[in-house]
């Protein structure tokens, strides 16, 4: 059994492992993930594995519809989040919100606060 992969920039690893970051916003090239799917998560810079996540939902969103709740789920301010997205995806407006839950090594939901 193998899982599909997703990568995150390494600066987000600690927030993901602490369950402070529970969504990611991606462009159409990463809109193919399915609810219930388990993904192997690695750092973009060195492809180092750091956890598994379960996809809860994949929801289309326009850049202008991003709100404070998304920012909270990203552990950022809304201004920071919009700036990050514009830097990663210059000129793009159509995205998906991938809502996820981090799994512990046994495959169980890792969070103790939900
Ligand atoms: C490494 C790679 O291939 N791509 C991306 C794309 C996005 N993101 C993060 O998702 C949120 C919204 O875009 C922000 O927190 C981003 O920094 C990421 O970590 N890595």
- Is residue 111, in this structure, part of any structural domain at all? no
Tens-binned pLDDT, residue by residue, of the chain (114 aa): 789 999 999 999 999 999 999 999 999 999 999 999 999 999 999 999 999 999 999 999 999 999 999 999 999 999 999 999 999 999 999 999 999 999 987 778 877 654
Domain enclosing residue 19, as ranges? 4-103
- Is residue 113, in this structure, part of any structural domain at all? no
CATH of the domain at 80: 2.30.130.30
Mutate to test the pocket of ligand 1, among 11, 20, 26, 93 (most ligand atoms within 8 A of CB): 26
CB of 95 closer than 6 angstroms to any ligand 1 atom? no
- Is residue 21, in this structure, part of any structural domain at all? yes
Evaluate whether ipTM surpasses 0.90. yes
- Is residue 112, in this structure, part of any structural domain at all? no
- Is residue 110, in this structure, part of any structural domain at all? no
Judged by DSSP in three states, 101 sits in: strand
Overall number of domains in the chain? 1
Q: pTM of this prediction?
A: 0.93
β-sheet bridge partners, residue 96:
26, 60
β-sheet bridge partners, residue 25:
97
């Amino acid at each position: 059994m193998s899982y599909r992969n997703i990568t995150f920039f390494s600066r987000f690893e600690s927030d993901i492992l602490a369950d402070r970051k529970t969504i990611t916003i991606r462009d159409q090239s990463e809109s193919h993930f399915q609810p219930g799917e388990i993904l192997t998560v690695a750092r973009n810079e060195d492809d180092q594995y750091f956890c598994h996540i379960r996809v809860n939902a994949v929801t289309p969103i326009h850049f202008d519809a991003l709100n404070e709740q998304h920012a909270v789920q990203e552990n950022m301010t809304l201004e920071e989040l919009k700036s990050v997205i514009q830097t990663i995806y210059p000129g793009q407006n159509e995205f998906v919100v991938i809502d996820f839950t981090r799994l512990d090594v046994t495959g169980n939901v890792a969070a103790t606060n939900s």
